[in-house]
Structure 1
Amino acid sequence: MGKKNKAKIKMNHMKEYKYGDDRLRDYIGMSTGKLITVTAIITFLASTVLYLSLALGVVVLST
């Protein structure tokens, strides 16, 4: 149920973007959003790799 509500909210935001008069501001907002998403993904991947290497190090040390 929560997912459906989020999807609805997202759709409303997209509609606002489409019909916004200030196209440039919308474009900047969308590109900033993309940048934040990419940064978040990279950070998540980096932390995952870090945790995996730490876990492997602990396993190697304990054996």
Structure 2
Amino acid sequence: MVNTEINHIFDNISKRVDEKGMSINALEEKAGIASGSIYKWKTVSPTIRSISKVAAVLGCSVDDLIT
């Protein structure tokens, strides 16, 4: 995955978190992933498992977050 694609995932998550009125940290907690994980996705590709958990909390599909 190219770095700009990774940033796109983070941007999509940030936008949806803002729309839900929650923080990245609250999202991580609700999704059951380690604190700081989503911020790391700015430079490192997330696992399908982690992004699936995030999508479930945000009420969207994985495709919504990666495209």
Question: TM-score, normalization: structure 2?
Answer: 0.35
TM-score between both structures, scaled by the size of structure 1: 0.36
Q: Highest CA radius of gyration, 1 or 2?
A: 1
Higher relative contact order (CA 8 A, sep 6+): 2
